[in-house]
Structure 1
Amino acid sequence: MASNRPAPEAPFVPAQRESDIFGYGEYRTEEGPWEEWNPTEESIRPVRGRHRVAKQRGGGLARSSTVLGVGVIAAVGAGGMASAHTGKPPVSISMPDLPSVGSLFDDSSDAPAATTASLTGVGTASASADSDQSDAGEALRNRIMAQAEQQQSKAETKATAAAVAAAEKQTADAAAKAEKEAAAKAADAKQKAEAAAKKQAEEERLAELAKQFQLPVVSYTITGTFGQPGSMWSSGYHTGLDFAAPTGTLIKAIHGGTITEAGWAGAYGYRTILTLDDGTELWFCHQSSINVKVGQKVGTGDVIGRVGATGNVTGPHLHLEVHPNGQATGIDPMTWLRGKGLTP
């Protein structure tokens, strides 16, 4: 059986394209057909600092290039805004030189790599801007925290210094108070010691004087004291110290001295005046008898007379008066005798 030869294929006529292939009612020129255009290194020369895309034939590619350009500008703008927020200098974004825009839509294996590299660079720049913004925020936070810690440290240091100053002042006040109290105690102790020493010295002195002085009579009763008021005395008060004792009781010299008077003295009766070496006069009055004479030297304990009731009296007694330096007005004999270590 004979075989027929296949009919030759009809040549491709672009003008016979159906009008509704893209859903339009009529044929549109921007839908093709297009000539194949392969850019070369001579046809597209990259411009330093700017990336230009060669003008393509056909309106569809132009629109696609415009969309890509807007996306790139938006990415770059976002990176610039991120840089502006971080307060750091803008990040330089390097875009690779594209041979042609048409190559982005080529079905060859090289086209997707170029597109991927370009978009990856934009994403990396955006991520870097976000990282810079995060780093700037972290740095600001760290700076604020450092300032807060520094202020807190200063406040704590100030409070510590104030507490130390208060403690030092309290310690100083306590030390001053203790020192003052110690000084007061020391002064009081010194005063007491001085008083005790003075008292002891006085006692020793009086003990020595007691050996040199003695009371005028041995057995007696005090019946009248110095300054006692009464009409029986011409001066209106008693001027001496009365030792009541029986008549004839011996009267002895209180201390050594010289007899400057011995005889009758009116209201004093018989009176003997003994003048001591310091000029003090001792008057012994109302004696019943006198045993010494004027100018005679006597010593402590020598008998100078006897108790009597002569003169202005109500009974036998010795009336003793003490006149310092021979003055007319006498002093209290009781006080004077105690000053000599004697206790009437």
Structure 2
Amino acid sequence: MASNPPAPEAPFVPGQRSPETFGFGTYRTDEGPWEEWNPTAESVRPVRGKHRVAKQRGGGFARSSTVLGVGVIAAVSAGGMASANTGKAPVSISMPDLPSVGGLLTEDDAPPEPAPALSSFGTESDDTAQGGAADAGEALRSRIMAQAESQQTQIEAKAKVAAAKAEAAATAKAEKEAKAKAAAAKEKAEAEAKKKAEAARLAELAKQYTLPTSSYTITSTFGQAGSLWSSGYHTGLDFAAPTGTLIKAVHSGTVTEAGWAGSYGYRTILTLDDGTELWFCHQSSISVSVGQKVGTGDVIGRVGATGNVTGAHLHLEVHPNGSADGIDPMSWLRSKGLNP
């Protein structure tokens, strides 16, 4: 035997009250329920006045369950407000303070009092953006100009430092050259003065000294090597002259030797006041004796060819302080202002 299915429950009827109450023991006349009201352009008269709101394009947020009005957009997102997009430049949007929907739907033809502007973000944001961009551009320009001026200042400072260094270097170089020239001039002057003084001294000495003979020729000098000399080199200065040519005392002194001396032939030794010995060798004759004092230019003998010789000549040796080894007679004579 088949059973009938249970009958479906009746749908909810808006005008029917529920036997249950919410928070109260009985029904309240101010609780409703109400039917949903969807206003349309024909049922709601547009708000008259100075400010009109463009027709809504795009989505937005509803304020609770209350409809603010046809064509009104109040978009609140991420702490900012969006202005209505009308296709034109952003304009200031202001809204009256609406305490309830009923005030918007009044039948009174008198326009509501203008309310203070709710937002002028559209125009102010552009102006602020333009002003901020202008300020940023001006700040960038100021920084660039400051950097350029700083670089120019640094370049000028470096140029001044380089110029100062170059000038200092040029000045130092000029001073150095001037000092060098002055030192060279001073040195040259001193050398010339010294040379003049030496010439004067030698001229004075030349009056006190004289060459040993005249009409001569220098044939052998000091230190010259050869087998003709027993020592292997020449120990004096040879004045070749004819036999009998006069031999003179070079300087004043005392005769310490006069006679035969082997390979030197006839020899006269004249000791000067400073102890220097002058040897006059190979003489043909001797005109002085030992212990005799002579003066500069006095005749002490004659040129000859006695002893170990190859021809007539005067062999002159110089021995400082009576030493066995002699020195160069040419240098010694020149030191006395004489030029053989």
When the two structures are superposed, what TM-score results if normalisation uses the length of structure 2?
A: 0.67
Distance 1:31 1:311 in 2: 170
Any conservation in 2 of the 1:72–1:122 contact (CA below 8 Å)? Answer: no
Distance 2:44 2:218 in 1: 167
Q: What is aligned with 1:194?
A: 190
Any conservation in 2 of the 1:209–1:340 contact (CA below 8 Å)? Answer: yes
Match of 1:272 among 268, 271, 280: 268
Any conservation in 1 of the 2:93–2:120 contact (CA below 8 Å)? Answer: no
Count of residue correspondences: 269
Q: What is aligned with 1:231?
A: 227
- Offset of residue 236 of structure 1: 2.0
Distance 1:300 1:133 in 2: 121
Identify if the C-alpha distance between structure 1 residues 156 and 191 changes in structure 2 by more than 3 Å, giving closer, same or farther.
same
- Offset of residue 233 of structure 1: 1.9
Q: What is aligned with 2:301?
A: 305
Any conservation in 2 of the 1:265–1:271 contact (CA below 8 Å)? Answer: yes
Deviation beyond 4 Å, 4+ runs, structure 1: 28-34, 71-74, 92-100, 102-105, 121-125
Match of 2:81 among 71, 77, 81: 77
Distance 1:221 1:295 in 2: 31
Distance 2:197 2:337 in 1: 12
- Offset of residue 104 of structure 1: 9.8
Structure 2 letter corresponding to 1:327: S
Any conservation in 2 of the 1:253–1:300 contact (CA below 8 Å)? Answer: yes
SS in 1 for 2:69: helix
Match of 2:253 among 250, 257, 260: 257
Q: How does 1:1-344 map to 2 (within 5 A)?
A: 66-67=69-70, 69-70=72-73, 77-78=81-82, 100-101=103-104, 106=109, 111=111, 114=113, 121=117, 126-344=122-340
SS in 2 for 1:306: strand
SS in 1 for 2:250: coil
SS in 2 for 1:212: coil
Identify if the C-alpha distance between structure 1 residues 30 and 294 changes in structure 2 by more than 3 Å, giving closer, same or farther.
closer
- Over the aligned positions, Cα root-mean-square deviation in angstroms equals 3.6
When the two structures are superposed, what TM-score results if normalisation uses the length of structure 1?
A: 0.66
Structure 1: stretches of 5+ with no match in the other structure? 1-27, 35-61, 80-91
Structure 2: stretches of 5+ with no match in the other structure? 1-38, 46-65, 84-91
- Offset of residue 284 of structure 1: 0.8
SS in 1 for 2:306: coil
- Offset of residue 332 of structure 1: 1.4
Show CA shifts across 1:64-92 (max 9, x none). x5136426989x9247xxxxxxxxxxxx9
- Offset of residue 238 of structure 1: 1.9
- Offset of residue 124 of structure 1: 6.0
Identity rate of aligned residues, in percent?
62
Distance 1:163 1:104 in 2: 86
Identify if the C-alpha distance between structure 1 residues 156 and 207 changes in structure 2 by more than 3 Å, giving closer, same or farther.
same
- Offset of residue 282 of structure 1: 0.5
Identify if the C-alpha distance between structure 1 residues 30 and 277 changes in structure 2 by more than 3 Å, giving closer, same or farther.
closer
- Offset of residue 180 of structure 1: 3.8
Identify if the C-alpha distance between structure 1 residues 170 and 105 changes in structure 2 by more than 3 Å, giving closer, same or farther.
farther
Any conservation in 2 of the 1:257–1:297 contact (CA below 8 Å)? Answer: yes
Identify if the C-alpha distance between structure 1 residues 67 and 252 changes in structure 2 by more than 3 Å, giving closer, same or farther.
same
Identify if the C-alpha distance between structure 1 residues 104 and 316 changes in structure 2 by more than 3 Å, giving closer, same or farther.
farther
